[in-house]
């Protein structure tokens, strides 16, 4: 089934995208570009280092991004290079990444709410921005048209 623009508008899919993206980045200590790149790589399923390089052209320059994402467990090796049957090492996003992306989709589709417990990163109220996002999260959870 192919979705049309009116279908996406009807279900308000992107209504709270910015808020959900900020929550995910702050909760999991990711940069915005890292999260969007992981979503891109998740759509590719299997990829090489060259696919990663092609994907980062439109994002801010960060020469440590590849190693950081691998070291923090966001990207896993699917198949190692062996010079005979596999010319390149093939990678995939980790189950940690898949869980995060699935959770983001569930929140955007209103199947799940953003956490509002005291252990949530935003609910520590350390800055003005945290207070603004707390109010936005409260407004989002009360929104009946979501």
Q: Tokens 């994002």 correspond to what residue?
A: 59
- Say if residues 122 and 134 touch (Cβ distance below 8 Å): yes
pLDDT digits over 9-35, tens only? 888 888 899 999 999 998 999 999 999
Domains of the chain: 5-142 (1.10.10)
What is the pLDDT, as a whole number, of residue 122? 66
- Say if residues 95 and 1 touch (Cβ distance below 8 Å): no
pLDDT less than 70: residues of the chain: 118, 121-125
For 67, the token pair is 């190693």
What is the pLDDT, as a whole number, of residue 103? 95
pLDDT digits over 74-86, tens only? 999 998 888 777 7
CB atoms within 10 A of CB 134: 16
The number of angstroms, rounded, from the C-alpha of 131 to the middle of its chain's C-alpha atoms is 23
Q: Which residues, 6+ apart, have CB-to-CB distance to 44 below 8 Å?
A: 51, 55
- Say if residues 116 and 122 touch (Cβ distance below 8 Å): no
């Amino acid at each position: 089934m192919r979705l049309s623009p009116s279908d996406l508008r009807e279900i308000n899919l992107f209504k709270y995208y910015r808020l959900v993206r900020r929550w995910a980045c702050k909760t999991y200590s990711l940069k915005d570009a890292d999260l969007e790149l992981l979503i891109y790589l998740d759509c590719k399923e299997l990829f090489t280092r060259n696919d990663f390089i092609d994907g980062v052209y439109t994002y801010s320059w960060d020469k440590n991004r590849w190693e950081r994402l691998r070291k923090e467990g966001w990207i896993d090796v699917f198949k190692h290079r062996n010079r005979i049957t596999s010319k390149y090492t093939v990678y995939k996003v980790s189950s940690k990444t898949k869980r995060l992306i699935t959770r983001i989709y569930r929140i955007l589709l209103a199947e799940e709410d953003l956490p509002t417990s005291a252990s949530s990163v935003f609910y520590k109220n350390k800055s003005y921005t945290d207070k603004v996002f707390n109010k936005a999260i409260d407004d989002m959870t009360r929104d009946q048209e979501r």
